Amino acid sequence: MVQPRRVSSGVAAIYLPPWRIDVVRRPGVVLPAAARALAKVAARTLDAAMAPPPASLGVILSDDRELSALNEEHMGERGPTDVLSFPLLSPSAFPPHPGQDPAIHDRPAPLGPGRSFALPPRRRLHLGDVVVSVQRAVSQAGEGRGGQTGDVSWSAADELRLLVVHGVLHVCGWDHSRPTEAEAMRKLERDLLGVR
């Protein structure tokens, strides 16, 4: 069994080799799913996306207020959203995946398979951060508007797990602006969550 190591209040560094998932729970946020379960689904997603190991990933569990501010600052959109991703590597740093624009891999990746830099001893490459509104996950699930398609009725824990998977895939270079990639992304999300 994986045991989280407490770093400070609201933060757990969960080691699932070759990954370290830093789960941060903002004050006042009540989780419908255990931090360990969210870290496990994040690690499975990193495996599926063939992220460069060993690496770390941040999963920040927050509320609509923070997501609304981040959404406006980084996406130019007003109001809350359910998940935002902040990748630190280019999509070309990850292996190609179904539906992806092939032009992404026509330019050299700053990092990725065969392209890397030496890290100091015992250090990991940080892939990026995923920020999830737990408040939005609970609301979407409660109203039967979950599943990234807005028509799935399931538990708040399942919706939160989906949002983590979705955000991690974005960190790993996945997108859903192209219909074929969106379809492949939705299929992989369902496979990772074990749903049809």
Residue 121 CB burial class (10 angstroms; 0-12, 13-18, ≥19): exposed
35 alpha-carbon distance from chain centroid: 13
What local confidence, expressed as pLDDT, does residue 190 receive?
92
What local confidence, expressed as pLDDT, does residue 115 receive?
46
What local confidence, expressed as pLDDT, does residue 107 receive?
61
Show pLDDT as tens, one digit a residue, over the chain (196 residues): 333 344 445 889 999 999 999 999 999 999 999 999 999 999 999 999 999 999 999 999 999 999 999 999 999 999 999 999 999 999 988 999 988 888 887 665 555 444 455 566 667 899 999 999 999 999 998 887 777 676 777 899 999 999 999 999 999 999 988 899 999 999 999 999 988 6
Non-local CB neighbours of 75 within 8 Å, separated by 6+ positions: 81, 84
Domain boundaries, the chain: 5-95+125-193
What gap in Å lies between CA 162 and CA 38, rounded to an integer?
Answer: 9
C-alpha distances out from residue 23 to 6, 20, 38, 55, 130, Å:
10, 9, 8, 14, 10
What local confidence, expressed as pLDDT, does residue 108 receive?
57
What local confidence, expressed as pLDDT, does residue 8 receive?
44
What local confidence, expressed as pLDDT, does residue 5 receive?
40
**Residues facing 61 on adjacent strands:** 25, 132
Four-way CATH pick for 5-95+125-193: 1.10.3720.10, 3.40.390.30, 3.40.50.2300, 3.40.50.300:
3.40.390.30
| Most distant CA pair in the chain, distance | 48
What local confidence, expressed as pLDDT, does residue 120 receive?
62
Q: How many residues does the chain have?
A: 196
What local confidence, expressed as pLDDT, does residue 153 receive?
79
56 alpha-carbon distance from chain centroid: 12
- pTM recorded for the entire structure: 0.88
What local confidence, expressed as pLDDT, does residue 121 receive?
63
Q: Which amino acid is at 4?
A: P
